[in-house]
Chain A
Amino acid sequence: MNGRFLAIAAAALTLLAACLSIARAEPYVWGFQAEQLEYRAGTGDDVAAWDFDAFFGKDELRLVWRSEAEYETGEKNFESLQNQLRLQKPISDFFDAVAGVSVETPDGYKRVHGVLGLHGLAPQWFEIDADLFVSDRPYFRFEAEYEGLITNRLILTPSVEVEVPLVDDRFAGRGAWGPKVEIGARLSYDLVDRAFSPYVGVHYERSFGETANLKRAEGGDADSLFLVVGARLMF
C-alpha cells in the first residue's frame, strides 16, 4: 500500500481517537466480517475475490477498514483492489452515516476518493450500503444483501451491487453513466457458530453503456458468469 494511504489512515485514526475520548469509559468492541472470501470460476479468467470489514469502536462511532479485491489468477494481477477507512456514526435506529477515504490500487492505476455514504438495515431486512466516492472522478455505488433462512444454518444470500460512474475514468474502466452491475446468490452453511460458513453460489457481472464499451475495447466481455466457492467469516 502506498504512503498516501497510510497518511490518510493515520489521520482517520487520530480523528477517531479524538471522537472516542469525548465519551466516557466504555469497552471498545472490535470484529471482523468477511462477506465474501471466494474463488470464482467462469467464462473468463478465474478470479479470487474478497470483501471484508474489520471494525473497532463503540456504539457512537466505529472505524471500519473495508477491503474489496478481485485477483485474476491466470494473469496474476488485481483487476480491482480497494481499501477504505470509514468512520460510521449512527444517525437513526437502523442507519449509520459513513465518511472516509478510499484508495484503489489495482494493477494499472491508483485512485483516491473521499467516501460519503449510508450503511444500515432497511425495512424487510435488506442490508444496504450506499456510497458516493468523491474526487474529480466521482462514482456512486449501491449494495444490497438479503439473508434468506432456509434453515437456521443453511442460508441463501442474494446480493446486488450497482456502480455508476458520474464522469469518464477510462483507466479505471469507468464510462460516465455506464453502470456496472453484479448479482450474486450464495448458499452458505454455518459450520462453526457464525464464525465459519462455507458457501457455493453464482456470481454474474455485467457492464452497460460506456463502461461496457471500455471493457470490450480491452478485449474483455461485457458480462461474465461465475460459479463461486468460498466462506463467510465472522469473529
Chain B
Amino acid sequence: MKSFGLMPAGLLCLGALLAPVTAVQSGEYNLTVDRVQVDTGSFTRSGIGYNGATPGPVLRFEEGEEVTINVTNNLSESTSVHWHGIILPTDQDGVPGISYPGIAPGETFTYRFPIRQSGTYWFHSHTGFQEPDGAYGAIVITPKKREPFRYDRDYVVQLTDAHPHSGDRILRNLKMSADYYNRKQRTLFDFLDDVASKGLDRTLADRAAWGEMRMMPTDIEDLQGFTPLINGKAVSQNWTGLFTPGERVRLRFINSSAMTYFDIRIPGLKLTVVQADGNNVQPVTVDEFRIAVAETFDVIVRPTEDRAYTIFAESMGRTGFARGTLATREGEEADVPELRPAPLLTMADMGMAHEGMDHGSMPGMTHSMPDGTTMKGMDQGSMPGMTHSMPDGTTMKGMDHSAHGGMAMDKPDPFYAPGSGLSPTAAEPGGKFLSYSDLKAQSPLYAERPAGREIELRLTGNMERYIWSINGIKYEDAEPIRLQYGERVRFKFVNETMMTHPMHLHGMWSILDNGNGRWNPIKHVVSVTPGTTVYMETEVDAPGAWAFHCHLSYHADTGMFRKVIVEGGPPEKAAALTGVSGG
C-alpha cells in the first residue's frame, strides 16, 4: 500500500475474485500527517503536510465505494482530518471535540465511510492552525453515471494563502493589534489624493465617519503578507497543466486558503462553471468568478489556440495573486496581468447605506403579511434573486421579472449590499462575473418543500479586539443549535460585520436560497458579504453532532463557530452510526 490509486484497484480485483456477486467496491488508503518544509519561493518555513508533502495527495474515490482511510499522526501534537463536503456518519467527520477526540501523536485512526456523492472536495486538519500551516489536500470522486458535461482532461487547481508566520503567531498578533497585517491602510497620500479629487470637506467628512466607527474601509483582508499558491506552487514556480488545442479541460478549483478569497480568470478563455461545491450546476459561462474560502468550483475551458494561457487568481483585497498556466508544452508561459487596484469598503458594507430601509437588523420592523406569515427576504430591497421568496418556497411572481432570469451583465450582484465596495466586476470589459444568483442545481437533490422553521444567525464580531461570534456569543459561551431529524430548517444569516464570512455546515447540505426555487443550488459553503442577509435551507437528514462555522481560520478559532446537534432519527440509523466508528 505505497501509493494511492493502486490499492483500491487491487482490492477491487481481489473482491471480484472472492465474491463476484458483491457490487460494493472498497478501497483502502493511507495518509500520514508529517512535518514538512513549505517553500513558496519567497520564503521557506516548517509546516504540516500529508504523505510528506503540502498540499497532500489527491484522493481519488468512486461513488458507491466504501473507503477505509488509515491516518497516522507523525506529529508531536494532536491532529485530525476533516473530509470537507463529504456526507458521512457523525463520528467520521473528523472534528476534535465534536466527532471524536482527535488523533494523538503516534496514533493511527481508521476512517470508514461510504461514498454517496461525486465531484470535487477537499480534506484538511480541523485542529488548531494545522490547515493554514499546510495540512490540506484534494478529493476527487468519480460519479457512477455519466456527467452532464464533457471534458478531455482534468486538473485539480487548489489555492492557498501560505503565510510566513505560523497560525499561532498570526492569531497572537491579531489579538495584540487587529490591524497588525493590514498594510493597505489609508495614508497621508491617500488623504491628499482624496482632497484633490473630492475636496477637503468631503474627505474630512469621510475620514470622520470611519474614524467615528473606528473601522477601516481597507479592512478586506485581515491577514495580508501571504503568498498565494496554486497546487503548492508560487508565481515563479508556475504550476502548469498541459492541453492539446481544441480539448475541453476541466479545472477543479478548490480554495483551501485560511483567509483569502480569490477572483479567478483565464484571459482569452471563457469559463463554463459546471459544478459548485461538488454538486453539478446548470452550466453557466462566465469570464471570471470569485471563490470564497473552502468553496470549490469546477469549470470547463476549451483553449483552441496553440499557445499558453494564464490562470490568474487575484486576492479579493488585491494584496497578492497566484498564477498557473495552461500550456501546450512544458515551460510555455503567457502574459501575467497586473493586479487591479484594491477595493475600498463603503458605508453600504457597514449596513448603513439604506438606514431605515434595511429591516434585516431590525426585527421589529419585519413586514408581516395578512395571513401572519412573514415576508422573509425583504431585507435587501434590491436583491432580485432573493427578495421575493416566500416562506412556503413560492416566488412572488410579477414583482420582479429578473428573479428567474439570472444576472444580466450590467446589473450589480444582488449578493452584495447595494453600493458595496466589494461588488465584483469582470476584468474583461463588459465581461460576465459569476454571481451566486447564476447557480442553479443541475438536478435537485431534495424535493422542494417549505422549511418548518427559521433560525436567525447574526454574524457578529469585534474587529478591534479580534473576537468573532454568532448572535454576539462566542463558541465557548454558546449553547449548541438543536435540530430535529427529518425537519427542513431555514437559516437566516445577517452579516453585521464588515468582513465576508464563508459559512460552512458539516454533515448536511446547505441549499442556498438564491431565488431559483427548486433549482436553488446545493452547497457546503455559503458566503455572506458585509451588510447583507442570505438564506439557506437544510434538510436535516444526518443524526449526530456537527460543526457549523465561518471557514476563515482565525474567525472560526476566535468564536464564529457553533456545534449543531441533530436529535432523533431512525434507530437503525443510530445503530449504523455506532457500527462504522473508526479505530
Contacts and interface: CB of A to CB of B under 8 A. Distances in A.
A and B touch in the complex (CB under 8 A): yes
Given A31-B172, A124-B208, A234 B177 contact: yes
A150 B474 contact: no
A123 B214 contact: yes
B43 interface: no
Nearest to B168: A27
A152 interface: yes
B211 A125 contact: yes
B214 A125 contact: yes
A175 B467 CA distance: 43
Interface string B292-311: 00000000000000000000
A124 B212 CA distance: 5
A76 interface: no
A148 B187 CA distance: 8
Contacts of B175: 29, 31
Contact of B176 (A26, A90, A234): A234
A153 B350 CA distance: 27
Given A29-B171, A124-B208, A150-B188, A94 B467 contact: no
Contacts of B173: 31, 193-194
Contact of A23 (B211, B462, B476): B476
Nearest to B557: A27
A134 to B, nearest CB: 27
Contact of B189 (A24, A121, A151, A234): A151
Given A29-B171, A152-B185, A93 B176 contact: no
B354 interface: no
B187 A152 contact: yes
A33 B177 CA distance: 10
B155 interface: no
Given A29-B171, A149-B185, A152-B185, A123 B211 contact: yes
A25 interface: yes
Interface in B175-211: 175-177, 180, 183-189, 208, 211
Contacts of B177: 33, 194, 234
A59 B465 contact: yes
B476 A149 contact: no
B176 A33 contact: yes
A121 B465 CA distance: 11
B392 interface: no
A30 interface: yes
A30 B173 CA distance: 9
Nearest to B171: A29
A25 B97 CA distance: 12
Given A25-B476, A29-B176, A194-B177, A148 B188 contact: yes
A30 B477 CA distance: 21
Interface string A88-116: 00100110000000000000000000000
Contacts of A33: 176-177
Interface residues of A, number: 26
B76 to A, nearest CB: 18
A59 B558 CA distance: 9
Contact of B186 (A25, A29, A121, A149): A149
A194 B180 contact: yes
B214 A149 contact: no
Interface in B260-318: none
Interface string B140-181: 000000000000000000000000000000011101110010
Given A121-B214, A124-B212, A31 B187 contact: no
A29 to B, nearest CB: 4
Nearest to B224: A152
B567 interface: no
Interface string B207-229: 01001101000000000010000
Chain A binding site: helix, strand, loop or mixed by DSSP?
loop
Given A24-B476, A123-B211, A124-B208, A93 B184 contact: no
Contacts of A93: 462, 464-465
A19 to B, nearest CB: 15
B176 A31 contact: yes
Interface string A142-157: 0000001111110000
- Max chain A C-beta neighbours (<10 A), residue from B171, B187, B477: B187
B485 to A, nearest CB: 28
A149 B85 CA distance: 43
Contacts of B188: 148-151
B214 A150 contact: no
Contacts of A24: 476-477
B183 A152 contact: yes
Interface in A19-64: 23-27, 29-31, 33, 59
Interface string B458-473: 0000101101000000
B187 A94 contact: no
Nearest to B175: A29
A159 B465 CA distance: 22
B214 A94 contact: yes
Contacts of A194: 173, 177, 180
Nearest to A151: B187
A92 B172 CA distance: 21
A59 B214 CA distance: 19
A23 to B, nearest CB: 7
A149 B183 CA distance: 10
Contacts of A90: 465
Contacts of A150: 187-189
Contact of B464 (A23, A94, A152, A234): A94
B184 to A, nearest CB: 7
Contacts of B214: 94, 121, 123, 125
Contacts of A124: 208, 211-212
A25 B96 CA distance: 14
A26 B477 CA distance: 11
Nearest to B180: A194
A127 B173 CA distance: 18
B184 A152 contact: yes
A150 B187 CA distance: 5
B206 to A, nearest CB: 13
Given A29-B171, A151-B188, 17 more contacts: A26-B476, A27-B171, A29-B175, A90-B465, A94-B464, A123-B212, A149-B186, A150-B187, A150-B189, A151-B187, A151-B189, A152-B184, A152-B185, A193-B225, A194-B173, A194-B180, A234-B180
13 contacts: A23-B476, A31-B175, A94-B214, A121-B214, A123-B212, A124-B208, A148-B188, A149-B185, A149-B186, A152-B183, A152-B184, A194-B180, A234-B177
Interface of A: 23-27, 29-31, 33, 59, 90, 93-94, 121, 123-125, 148-153, 193-194, 234
Interface of B: 171-173, 175-177, 180, 183-189, 208, 211-212, 214, 225, 462, 464-465, 467, 474, 476-477, 558
List 5 A-B pairs, minimum CB-CB distance, nearest first. A124-B211, A31-B176, A149-B187, A29-B175, A152-B183
